[in-house]
Structure 1
Amino acid sequence: MRAARTLATFDDVELGDHICWRPDSADASPADVLAYVADGALYGDKIVVVGSVDAVLGLPRDAVPAAAVILDPRRVLDSDSLLAAVRQEARTALREGFRSVRVLTERAPAGARDGAEDLVAQELRLDEFASESNAIVVCAFRPSQWDGPTLEHVAGVHPHEMGIRAERPAFRMYSAGADVWSVDGVIDSEGADAFNTAMRAVMRFSPKVNLRFDSLEMIDAAGMHALVDAARHLPDRRVVVEGANETVRLCWELAGYASAGVPVVMAA
């Protein structure tokens, strides 16, 4: 069962983790990356680097195992093709006798040509991949290169985090199975926009989405509006919410959303 958590170092990574890593500075030492790669060899994981080696946090080529795979995003037409390539490497790694794959990618604004919703959709797909394949996926975001709101959007769709941050995201949304997404924390006016973006992104994947609210502490009026607005963003979409506590269900009813015209069902 996956659960959101904060990691102190790469020593804490586990199979199935999808980590939002914020290096301490723009001049971060590659020592942590080298340790992550070395542990891959120790545990029998294949290393997959998305990007040229020199561009991923200064990782020297001679430190990368010969069996590692380098995927240059500049040579892939779109993010779907890149994810397909990562999935293929995971299948190949299992046939070759590796335990799993360790993916390392450094995200840069220059490579994120689309808006925040597209970036969030990519991260949700990576999280789904990590969950179903037991891969370890580390996405590095240098704080100096990104604006605060975008960082908050992407942090909210990583179940695990490492490195510096002012405070942990108010909520997290992450894969809990096929078309099932677990949401924990608090969704209030401050996080409603990020939640709406995450929901709009995930609604692209399937006409029916299941949300698990077992670990959600609270969702206020702004959060509920964000959920309904996202469900209405695309035609013929439906959201089923399960595991909500009694307070959340009562607030949903009092807000008038428990009606046939709302494409979100709050199950008992």
Structure 2
Amino acid sequence: MRAARALTRLDEVELGDHVCWRMDPTATLLTDVRAYVADGALYGDKVVMIGSTGAATTARDCSPAASVILDLPDLADTDVMLAAVRREARTAVRQGFRSVRVLTERAPMTAPGGAEEMLAQELKLDEFASESGAIVVCAFRSSLWDAPSMERAACMHPHEMGTRAERPAFRMFSTGANEWSVDGVIDSEGADAFNAAARAAIRHTPTMKLRFDTLEMIDAAGMHALVDAARHLPDRRIEVEGANETVRLCWELAGYATDGVPVVMAA
């Protein structure tokens, strides 16, 4: 079972990790990524760079035989990006590599619907890391992000590193096909982020499972966000498992334990 944790350095990454790297304002991607790339060569991983980042030069300098740059024309297209990453992962296996370690520098999507598309990409990258054992590091420059958008992005990563790498209020990450674990606290401050994450996760599947085993608390705003996400698209259903007794009782008292609600809170 994957577990959320904080890292102090990139050389602490493990197979299956999906890391939110909040870069120090004074840091340079070229310098800080060298250990990540060098460890790829040491452990037999293929390094995959997404986008034309400065780190691409470092990857080729440090490990020219085991790196590839995906300079995609439209980084906002989730399906294209994931197809390219999965293709490289399959190729890496055939070439005899242990796995792939992906590095991408993230930038806000300003087009209409871009914020939700960004969350969908992060969830898909997390699902890819979970099922394939790949390592995915997403680098964020604080100067490019406002605080709410950065917090939303951080919540979609089970692992974090760097500046202000404190634990987000909640985290949602993959634990299987169409199954997501949610930990922490979902209250009025995090309800919008949780709603956006759930909507992004459920849009490609009629039924989604959420694990609440490590969820400490969800308040009225969080419960409303969950139900709203299930109702956002027709014929969607969310099944919640592992909720503690307090969460289940609050769910019933809020009036959501009825047949008309497309969210089922299992005992």
Find the counterpart in structure 1 of residue 195 from structure 2. 196
CA contact (8 A) 1:240 1:264 kept: yes
| Distance in 1 separating the partners of 2:103 and 2:111 | 16
Which secondary structure does the structure 2 equivalent of 1:73 belong to?
Answer: coil
SS in 2 for 1:214: coil
- Checking the alignment, whether the CA contact within 8 Å between 1:237 and 1:263 is kept in structure 2 is yes
Structure 2 residues without counterparts, runs of 5 or longer? none
1:39 aligns to what? 39
RMSD: 1.9
1:43 maps to amino acid = Y
Distance 2:158 2:140 in 1: 15
CA distance in 2, matches of 1:256, 1:245: 17
Q: In structure 2, the residue corresponding to 1:48 is in which secondary structure?
A: strand
TM-score, with normalisation over the residues of structure 2?
0.95
Query: 4+ runs of 1 displaced by more than 4 Å?
Result: 110-114
User: Is the 1:29–1:58 contact (alpha carbons within 8 Å) kept by the matching residues of 2?
Assistant: no
For 2:71 and 2:144, the matched residues in 1 are separated by 20
Unaligned residue ranges in structure 1 (runs of 5+): none
Distance 1:123 1:115, change over 3 A: same
Equivalent in the alignment of 1:186: 185
The superposition leaves residues 156-215 of structure 1 with CA deviations (integer Å, 9 ceiling, x where unpaired) of 010000011274210000000001000000000110010000011011120000000000
**Residue 28 in 1 paired to residue 28 in 2?**
yes
Partner of 1:133: 132
Code of the residue aligned with 1:52 in structure 2: it is: S
Deviations 1:32-73 (A, max 9, x none): 20100000000000000011252x487364234233111002
Which letter does structure 2 place at the counterpart of 1:4? A
Distance 1:20 1:94 in 2: 25
In the alignment, which residue of structure 1 is the partner of 2:215?
216
How high is the sequence identity, in percent, across the aligned residues? 72
Q: Does 1:78 align with 2:51?
A: no
SS in 2 for 1:236: coil
Alignment check: 8 A CA contact 1:26 1:142 kept: no
Count residues with an aligned counterpart. Answer: 267
Structure 1: which amino acid aligns with 2:155? G
Q: Distance in 1 between matches of 2:94 and 2:256?
A: 49
The alpha-carbon distance between structure 1 residues 113 and 30, as it changes in their structure 2 partners (threshold 3 A), is farther
Aligned residue for 1:234, secondary structure, equals coil
SS at match of 2:212: strand
Alignment partners' CA distance in 1, 2:9 and 2:108: 25
Matches within 5 A, 1:1-268: 1-25=1-25, 27-28=27-28, 30-54=30-54, 56=55, 59=58, 61-74=60-73, 78-109=77-108, 114-165=113-164, 167-268=166-267
Go from structure 1 to structure 2 and tell me whether the alpha carbon gap of 1:230 and 1:96 turns closer, same or farther (over 3 Å shift).
same
State how far apart, in whole Å, the 1-side matches of 2:99 and 2:78 are. Answer: 22
Q: Is the 8 A contact 1:109 1:146 kept in 2?
A: yes
Cα deviation, residue 110, structure 1: 6.0
Q: d(CA) in 2 for partners of 1:110 and 1:196?
A: 18
Using the TM superposition, give the Cα deviation of residue 95 of structure 1 relative to its aligned residue in structure 2, in angstroms: 0.9
Which piece of structure 1 moves more, 117-126 or 74-83? 74-83
Distance 1:87 1:187, change over 3 A: same
Q: Contact 1:120 / 1:201 at 8 angstroms: preserved in 2?
A: yes
**What secondary structure is seen at the aligned counterpart in 1 of 2:138?**
strand
CA contact (8 A) 1:6 1:161 kept: yes
- 1:255/1:114 CA distance change after superposition, 3 Å: closer
Q: Which amino acid aligns with 1:21?
A: W
Return closer, same or farther for 1:117/1:89 CA change in 2, 3 Å cut-off: same
